[in-house]
Structure 1
Amino acid sequence: MNTSEMNDQQVAGLAAAICATAEAMGQEMNPGTAAMMAEDLCVYSVPVVKAALKACRFEVKGKLAMTDILQRVQSADGRPGKDEAWAIAMTTNDEFETVVLTDEIQLALAAAKPVLDAGDKVGARMAFISAYERFVRRAREDTKPVNWHVSVGFDADRRIQAVTRAVQMQRIPQERGQLNLADLTHEPVSEDGRAIAGLLTGSPCQPTGEVRTKLDAIRADLARKRKEKADAREAERCRALTELNLRKTHLISQAAAIQSKEAAHGR
């Protein structure tokens, strides 16, 4: 989006539409104020702004404000709401799933990943939503159009379904979707590739003998590392408990000393 989307005549028409909308809502607006609002909104397309004004007439109670118009203009950019964005982000956990997501979802997921990896899904969701709203707000302030892109999974059939669905939802153009489908279906995933993905997802798949040997070694290594981490956590817990007990003993001793001192002074 850029300022060339509206010419001077369109900006003047938009100012008149803003005045008319305000009047329809029972408010008198200075033409100069309407012209200033139109100038601020000229970076957006005429149909989008007109649709936002119509929505304001039906939805806004009270006086028309710039924030009312801008909120509705920006929500028309195709970016999903925070809850839908989180649901899309969680789909990326399935290595077989092909996911079509926005730049902001990808950035927010990266920000929340450390919390998610720690096993705190509630905290991860809160971190994701906070980051996502921040990234979306920044993109909208910069009038950056939404950018949907494809994150490819291992299942070839799901690739086709995901891209087809994204085209139907008008998240990616049909021409681009056709190119993506051509690229995604050009080379199928091998059984060994599926077996390796199964190690990550827990979905069973039979690999070849050579790969099976490698996967067994990887599983054994993962089990060993998990045991080492568990032992380290237990040792850390014992150390922390010992330190806590020592600290409690020290505090009790300090409290007793203070009480003795106060009693001595009292005498």
Structure 2
Amino acid sequence: MNSFERMAPDQIARLALAVCATAEAMGQSLSPDAAELIADDLADYPATVVSAALKSCRRGGGKLTTDSILQRVQAADGRPGKDEAWSIALASSDEFDTVVMTEEIQLALSAARPVLNAGDKVGARMAFISAYERLVVKARTEAKPIQWRVSVGFDPNRRIEAVNAAVQMQRVSHERGCLLLADLTREPITEDGRAVAGLLTGTPCQPSEKVRAKLDEIRVDLALKRQQKADAREAERCRVLAELDLRRTNLISQSAAIQSKEAARGR
């Protein structure tokens, strides 16, 4: 569903004139009806963004089409590229970090998390990028504006750094950043936070039932991964030994064949 306010009829009319003028500046001839159709297709986006896209088309040259304008309009929505989005998604796996991510990153990470939890980072990245690109295309087709969300981590210092960085990168407005910082710096340290920090400091503290279950799940997962690595090392050792044994057997066979030939010549 479109989250931008559609242009008013008089704005669409002015946009059609701007499209005609842009086409003429680029050496094209565009009928008023065609310009109105293009303007209607672009009316779901902010007028300032469309105006900037038309200016980019005039500077870039080529042929003016609805697609060429839309590509520039959509590229200006602020959504990260697939590689940057993946790095943001990976940062969110650290529960101490506060991460500012888009709705598409969050949803794509949910799709890739089972693969990531299984230890297949390459497969997880492929699954994430496939889902992320599909979600971004859908959002852009629906003219849905970007929405940055703050995922709060346990470390209070990293919270402040993450929000300040998001404000500087204009992912979060200055006003919203101030409100977030006020809430985050006012938030007390919970027993769960102390319990997680106690894993590093050695200071015992009882977490809630939910966090205790999560910690137990992490312990089991780590133990399973350690066992998998040990099994893989043992399998590799057995493979190498079997390969050496096969080579030794072949060498013995070759040596016996040579000796047999030499004995036959000596008769």
User: 1:182-261 to 2 correspondence within 5 Å?
Assistant: 182-189=182-189, 193-196=193-196, 199=199, 204-208=200-204, 222=220, 226=224, 230=228
Looking at structure 1, the residues matched to 138 and 176 of structure 2 have their Cα atoms a distance apart, in angstroms, of 26
Looking at structure 2, the residues matched to 64 and 140 of structure 1 have their Cα atoms a distance apart, in angstroms, of 20
Partner-residue secondary structure (3-state), 1:172: coil
The aligned residue for residue 55 of structure 1 is 56
Structure 1 stretches of 5 or more lacking a match? 238-267
Work out the percentage of aligned pairs sharing the same amino acid: 57
The aligned residue for residue 34 of structure 2 is 33
TM-score (norm 1): 0.74
- Give the C-alpha shift of residue 160 in structure 1: 0.7
Partner-residue secondary structure (3-state), 1:185: helix
> Which stretch of the first structure deviates more once superposed, 16-25 or 108-117?
16-25
The aligned residue for residue 262 of structure 2 is none
- Give the C-alpha shift of residue 34 in structure 1: 0.7
The aligned residue for residue 16 of structure 1 is 17
Alpha carbons of structure 1 residues 55 and 192: separation in structure 2 relative to 1, 3 Å: same
User: 1:196-242 deviations in whole A, cap 9, x for unaligned?
Assistant: 2575xxxx32313778xx99x959963895289759x89xx9xxxxx
One-letter amino acid matched to 1:160: I
User: 1:112-155 deviations in whole A, cap 9, x for unaligned?
Assistant: 11111122212211111110011111112222211111101111
> Which stretch of the first structure deviates more once superposed, 96-105 or 184-193?
184-193
Alpha carbons of structure 1 residues 48 and 196: separation in structure 2 relative to 1, 3 Å: same
Partner-residue secondary structure (3-state), 1:93: coil
User: 4+ residue runs of structure 1 moved beyond 4 angstroms?
Assistant: 1-5, 217-221, 227-231
User: 1:142-178 deviations in whole A, cap 9, x for unaligned?
Assistant: 2221111110111101101111111222212222222
Alpha carbons of structure 1 residues 198 and 15: separation in structure 2 relative to 1, 3 Å: farther
- Give the C-alpha shift of residue 56 in structure 1: 1.3
Partner-residue secondary structure (3-state), 2:171: coil
Structure 2 stretches of 5 or more lacking a match? 236-267
User: 1:43-82 to 2 correspondence within 5 Å?
Assistant: 43-61=44-62, 63-82=63-82
1:180 correspondence with 2:176 = no
Looking at structure 2, the residues matched to 35 and 220 of structure 1 have their Cα atoms a distance apart, in angstroms, of 58
TM-score (norm 2): 0.74
User: 1:122-161 to 2 correspondence within 5 Å?
Assistant: 122-161=122-161
Alpha carbons of structure 1 residues 210 and 153: separation in structure 2 relative to 1, 3 Å: closer
- Give the C-alpha shift of residue 6 in structure 1: 2.3
Looking at structure 1, the residues matched to 168 and 222 of structure 2 have their Cα atoms a distance apart, in angstroms, of 47
Whether the 8 Å CA contact 2:198–2:204 is kept in 1: the answer is no
Whether the 8 Å CA contact 1:19–1:31 is kept in 2: the answer is yes
Looking at structure 2, the residues matched to 59 and 91 of structure 1 have their Cα atoms a distance apart, in angstroms, of 36
- Give the C-alpha shift of residue 85 in structure 1: 0.8
